[in-house]
Amino acid sequence: MTVTEEQVRQSPRNGFQRVVSDPAVAITALLFWGMFKVLPVRWASALGGAIGGVAGLFLRKRNRIALVNLRIAFPDKTEAERRAILRRSWQHWGRFYAEMPHASALFRTAEIVGMDYLKQVAAAGRGGLVCSAHLGNWELAVSQPLFDDVCLNPVYRRANNPWLDKLMFQRRTGTLIPKGTTGARQLVSVLRQGGLVVMLCDQKLREGITVPFFGKPAMTAPAIATMALKFNTPIVMARSIRKPSGQFYVEVSAPLSMPNTGDMAADTATVMGNINRIMEGWIRETPEQWLWMHRRFDKSEY
């Protein structure tokens, strides 16, 4: 079997991990998955929120990272307000994982706005790029099985634990595009065949370009802009957020306006700047639903 670049970049698995810890973690995750699946969705969501809230109390390193991000994003809020957002965020992510087995049922009751934009892009046959973020329940914004008339093909990072990778990602249909050189070739192939590719564009990439995010320079993955400009392919923004009622709101935007100055680097920076500003607006609207627990900015901030 050929080893891909993405597999090489993953943490190597030693014998103990392969034989003992990886299967044990996966079996535990599968048991929780089964428990959440047999529960009514509201019960599963409530239980997941409680578990997430408790788990967040013990993840001190992640809390420190999150509070740095919150201070950058919301300098005018008090420390107590930022900590309250973080507590609700842990509860939200507990709900997110508990709701994953119920994604199809949740989608059927969701309020959907802008689906015609996605269908128009798909019907044009030029391929398309869908940009989302680790916000709300992105399974509802990016999962191909949920859109009967449109096939979405997600770009993802393989989990280090191959058992978890199978549980969390391989259950999806469509073309799964792993990050790395092999994935890049698959992405180009999907676009050339008129397919739609989904990318989550809100996390740090060390090899990316510097683009402002909440007023701070942040290393940002430019791939979605580069592909759109190179192949003359539209980008639409998509998000799925939880409403106070518990129902989800799925929103797809009209295709972004694309610059065409002839300067690829400048145009790429412009597109990514526009994308970051849109995501900032999303996050400000529902701050408790964003994934604050990763290092988004330069390491000196932490």
Identify the pLDDT of residue 210: 97
Per-residue CA distances from 214 to 31, 99, 103 (Å): 39, 30, 31
* Measured distance CA(112)–CA(98) in Å, rounded: 22
H helices present in the chain, as ranges: 5-9, 15-16, 22-38, 41-58, 60-73, 79-99, 103-108, 115-124, 138-142, 162-168, 181-192, 223-231, 264-285
Identify the pLDDT of residue 174: 59
Fold adopted by 5-301:
Glycerol-3-phosphate (1)-acyltransferase (3.40.1130)
Burial class (CB in 10 A: 0-12, 13-18, 19+), 177: buried
Identify the pLDDT of residue 143: 57
3-state helix, strand, coil in the chain (%, to 5): 55, 15, 30
- Asked if 216 and 229 count as a contact pair (C-beta separation under 8 A), the reply is no
Identify the pLDDT of residue 230: 94
Burial class (CB in 10 A: 0-12, 13-18, 19+), 91: buried
Identify the pLDDT of residue 182: 77
Identify the pLDDT of residue 240: 92
Q: In the chain, which residues have pLDDT < 70?
A: 1-11, 19, 141-149, 167-175
Radius of gyration from C-alpha coordinates of the chain? 19
